């Protein structure tokens, strides 16, 4: 078993963690059970078996499996402590258990952590947000004989719950939106999208390109957001007060500069006069961990520039981002609401609202992924609430093999190493745009060199002085153009290698489904997929084919015009300049903001 996995890895082939877990569970003989105490005080139990090893390579591989499993659990569930139940008389098992605090750097400051310790940074910030500065995470080792009888495998569930099929809160929100003035904001890694409603109509949509990973100061991130909100407010007030003719159209074009927007704001605020008011609610979709309306993660790629700025204290800078909701309150009415969540839950929430509008059964909640700069993951429960978990599924390690590709630096598109943590095999380089670039660089030179040369000629790929291969982000960010190029080739029917790229993305998503099933075990089994990777039907079908080749019957749904069921989403679908694929989450954020207006 171990020999086979190592042979795959040495051939530079993926070795999926889900396959390793299944094989170890079937053939392993050594107990290594994990129990995590979650933020709400409950405990989740994950029984595991490990095989006997006979070489250094086999021992290292088993260790990589344990590290990846713990990392995935902490990245998604977080928690207050982890207990390890194993044979305390086995020297090798005890060495492995005792190594975890050092590997995950649980006892050193956040600024000194790297690699696996990065997930501990997020967990510490969540613990502080929920319980204050004194709550710390800990590992504890116990003998297998001490394992409580009430600990169960999370998959050993009882009879399935019966649901009434009612759509509940999801159906109420579009009604609650009514003719209020509302704003939805979808912050991404390459752009910000905003949608505003007034008088029962979707009145304004705005797209703004940016590159937050390059920002070294917090003001570079917050100032554009606040400028855009101010712009949307004055434009929305003109619509709400019947002064639509005074809307400065240039300010709302995609390429409008900050100076042009500011000039438009001055004109529109003057035209609005006494009719200038705050939004009734603002909903914010932000690409980081959000707990209880506060941004608490800080370890995603968007903050790389700030983390790398050694001249300033990152924690102090990040605290200002964490307080973004307070800044936004300046643009809502005194009794208005500001509601924020991660972009993944926003995708799931948006799907649930739209499906409830046509009386689909959302009584099991909803689960979704966004496929863009990173992989976002969203989980919404049947009552509209979002589990208070880090849910950083994009950090999951799914591949314990591909030994050749992990030798390359993370900046190289051919590398499987995470840009933030340098850890190999994480979803960042598998299921989002980086996955497309990696597979294109891997296959095209040998199998479709003409397309590869075309990508080089167009400047979508560039060779670096040290022999690397990158997608340039300056002086012009080429990531969107590169992704569109490869999607166009995959959809054209003349480049089977490009089609295979998206099938492999689907295979990775199926592994993601298996890993989220194992760790989170949501009642909702289907997944809605949002983002640029699924906006072309042919590419989405290729993704779905690849997923079903691994998990037959798996259900993926593309968030496209078929999702347009509420009033604002239908208006978006009918818009001549914008699409549901682009602005669905911004419109969903409008409804999410209304959650803050719900009275029990």
Which pLDDT tens digit goes with each residue over 245-260? Answer: 999 999 999 999 999 9
- 379, 341 Cβ separation under 8 angstroms: no
pLDDT(70) > 60? yes
Q: What does the pLDDT read at residue 197? A: 97
Q: Tokens 């863009």 belong to which residue? A: 372
User: How far, in Å, CA of 479 to CA of 462, rounded?
Assistant: 12
Query: Per CATH, which fold does 393-561 belong to?
Result: Nucleotidyltransferase; domain 5 (3.30.420)
Under 8 Å between Cβ of 302 and 189: yes
Lookup: tokens for 59: 């021992």
State how far the alpha carbon of 231 is from the alpha carbons of 467, 490, 527, in Å.
45, 38, 35
The three-class DSSP label of residue 457 is helix
Average pLDDT, integer, range 438-455: 97
- pLDDT category at 376 given cuts 50, 70, 90 is confident
For residue 141, the Cα-to-chain-centroid distance in whole angstroms is: 32
Q: What is the mean pLDDT of the chain?
A: 92
Span 485-489, average pLDDT = 97
| Most confident range, picked from 306-315, 364-373, 509-518 | 509-518
Of 342, 389, 419, give the one whose Cα is nearest residue 44: 389
CA distance 594 to 282: 8
User: For residues 402 and 400, what is the distance between their CA atoms, to the nearest angstrom?
Assistant: 7
Q: Is the pLDDT of residue 161 over 70?
A: no
- H/E run at residue 510: helix 496-519
- Please give the structure tokens belonging to residue 202: 């979707």
Give Cβ neighbours of residue 247 (< 8 Å, ≥ 6 apart).
204, 235, 238, 239, 268
Mean pLDDT of 267-293: 94
110-117 long-range CB contacts below 8 Å, 24 or more apart?
A: 110/315, 111/314, 111/315, 114/421, 114/422, 115/421, 115/422, 115/423, 116/67, 116/70, 116/71, 116/421, 116/423
CB 201 within 8 A of CB 570: no
The reported pLDDT for the residue numbered 599 is: 64
Q: Of the candidates 70, 58, 80, which has an alpha carbon nearest to the alpha carbon of residue 116?
A: 70
CATH fold label, 169-358+577-597: Nucleotidyltransferase; domain 5 (3.30.420)
> What's the CA gap between 123 and 78, in Å, rounded?
6
Cβ contacts of residue 559 below 8 Å, gap of 6+?
A: 347, 350, 351, 368, 528, 529, 530, 531, 534, 580, 581, 584
pLDDT of 158: 39
- What are the φ/ψ torsions at residue 462 (nearest 5 degrees)? -130, 145
Torsions phi, psi for 53 (to 5 deg): -105, 155
Please, what sign has the CA dihedral across residues 446, 451, 457, 460?
A: negative
Q: Check whether 166 has a pLDDT greater than 50.
A: no
Using a CB cutoff of 8 Å and minimum separation of 24, what contacts does 359-364 make?
359/167, 360/167, 361/163, 361/165, 361/167, 362/167, 362/170, 363/163, 363/164, 363/165, 363/166, 363/167, 363/168, 364/163, 364/522, 364/523, 364/524
What pairs with residue 50 in β-bridges?
30
Q: Half-sphere exposure (CA, 13 Å, Cβ side) for 36?
A: 24
* Mean pLDDT, range 7-28, rounded to an integer: 97
Residues 484, 477: Cα–Cα separation, whole Å: 13
Which pLDDT belongs to residue 165?
41
Task: Give the per-residue pLDDT at 505.
Answer: 98
What's the confidence (pLDDT) of residue 440? Answer: 98
The answer on pLDDT for 396 being more than 80 is yes
Residue-wise DSSP of 340-369: EEEHHHHHHHHHHHHHHTTT---TT-EEEE
Delimiting residues of CATH 3.30.420.40 domain(s) in the chain: 169-358+577-597
Closest CA relative to residue 247, chosen from 231, 223, 259: 231
- Residue 329 CB burial class (10 angstroms; 0-12, 13-18, ≥19): middle
The sign one gets for the Cα dihedral 137, 143, 144, 148 is negative
Q: What is the CB neighbour count within 10 angstroms for residue 496?
A: 12
User: Considering only CA atoms, which of 233, 253, 508 is closest in space to residue 397?
Assistant: 508
| pLDDT above 90 (res 582) | no
Whether residue 509 has pLDDT greater than 50: yes
Q: How big is the CA angle at 569 (ends 520 and 531), to the nearest 5 degrees?
A: 50
Q: Calculate ∠ Cα 218-219-224, nearest 5°.
A: 120
CA dihedral 301, 17, 490, 189 (to 10 degrees): -10
Instruction: Report the range of poorest mean pLDDT among 320-324, 410-414, 553-557.
Output: 320-324
Strand order in the sheet with 279-286: 201-209, 191-198, 182-187, 279-286, 332-342
Which tokens go with 294? 């506060």
| Residues 250/254/260/265 CA torsion (nearest 10 deg) | 70
- Angstrom distance (rounded) from CA 210 to CA 229: 15
pLDDT above 90 coverage of the chain, percent: 72
DSSP bridge pairs for 375: 371
pLDDT single digits (tens) 206-260: 999 998 888 999 899 999 999 999 999 999 999 999 999 999 999 999 999 999 9
């Amino acid at each position: 078993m171990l020999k086979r996995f190592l042979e795959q890895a040495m051939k530079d082939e993926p070795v999926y963690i889900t396959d390793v877990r299944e094989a170890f569970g079937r053939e392993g003989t050594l107990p290594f059970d994990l129990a995590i105490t979650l933020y709400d005080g409950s405990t989740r139990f994950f029984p595991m078996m490990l095989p006997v090893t006979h070489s250094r390579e086999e021992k290292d591989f088993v260790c990589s499996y344990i590290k990846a499993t713990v990392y995935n659990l902490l990245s998604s569930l977080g928690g207050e402590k982890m207990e390890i139940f194993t044979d305390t008389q086995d020297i090798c098992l005890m060495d492995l258990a005792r190594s975890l605090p050092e590997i995950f750097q649980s006892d050193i400051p956040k600024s000194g952590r790297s690699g696996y310790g990065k997930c501990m940074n997020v967990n510490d910030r969540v613990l502080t947000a929920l319980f204050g500065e004194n709550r710390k995470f800990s590992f504890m080792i116990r003998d297998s004989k001490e394992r409580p009888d009430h600990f169960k495998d999370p998959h050993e569930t009882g009879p399935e719950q019966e649901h009434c099929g009612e759509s509940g809160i999801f159906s109420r929100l579009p009604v609650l939106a009514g003719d209020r003035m509302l704003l939805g904001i979808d912050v991404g890694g390459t752009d910000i999208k905003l949608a505003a409603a007034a008088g029962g109509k979707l009145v304004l949509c705005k797209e703004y390109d940016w590159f937050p990973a390059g920002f070294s100061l917090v003001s570079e991130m917050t100032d554009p957001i606040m400028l855009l909100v101010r712009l949307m407010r004055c434009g929305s007030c003109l619509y709400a007060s019947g002064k639509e003719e005074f809307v400065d159209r240039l300010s709302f074009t995609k390429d409008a500069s900050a100076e042009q927007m500011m000039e438009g704001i001055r004109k529109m605020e003057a035209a609005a006069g006494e009719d200038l008011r705050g939004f009734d609610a603002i909903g914010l979709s932000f690409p980081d961990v959000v707990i209880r309306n506060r941004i608490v993660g800080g370890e995603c790629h968007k903050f790389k520039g700030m983390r790398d700025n050694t001249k300033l204290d990152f924690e102090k800078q990040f605290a200002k981002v964490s307080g973004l909701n307070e800044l936004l309150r300046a643009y809502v009415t005194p009794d208005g609401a500001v509601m924020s969540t991660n972009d993944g839950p926003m995708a799931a929430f948006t799907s649930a609202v739209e499906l409830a509008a046509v009386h689909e059964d959302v009584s099991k909640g909803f689960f979704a992924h966004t496929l863009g700069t990173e992989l976002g993951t969203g989980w919404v429960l049947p009552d509209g609430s979002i589990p208070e978990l880090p849910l950083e599924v994009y950090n999951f390690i799914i591949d314990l093999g591909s030994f050749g590709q992990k030798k390359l630096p993370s900046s190289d598109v051919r590398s499987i190493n995470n840009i933030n943590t340098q850890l190999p095999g994480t979803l960042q380089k598998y299921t989002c745009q980086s996955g497309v670039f990696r597979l294109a660089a891997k296959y095209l030179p040998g199998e479709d060199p003409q397309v590869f040369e075309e990508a080089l000629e167009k400047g979508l790929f560039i060779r670096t002085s040290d022999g690397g291969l990158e997608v340039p982000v300056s002086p012009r960010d080429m990531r969107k153009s590169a992704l569109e190029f490869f999607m166009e080739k995959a959809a054209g029917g003349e480049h089977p290698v490009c089609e295979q790229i998206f099938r492999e993305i689907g295979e990775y998503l199926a592994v993601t489904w298996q890993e989220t099933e194992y760790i989170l075990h949501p009642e909702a089994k289907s997944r809605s997929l949002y983002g640029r990777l699924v906006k072309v039907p042919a590419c989405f079908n290729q993704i779905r084919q690849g997923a079903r080749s691994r998990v037959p019957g798996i259900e993926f749904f593309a968030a496209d015009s078929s999702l347009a069921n509420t009033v604002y989403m239908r208006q978006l679908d009918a818009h001549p300049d914008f699409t549901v694929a682009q602005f669905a989450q911004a419109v969903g954020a409008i409804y999410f903001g209304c959650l803050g207006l719900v009275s029990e």
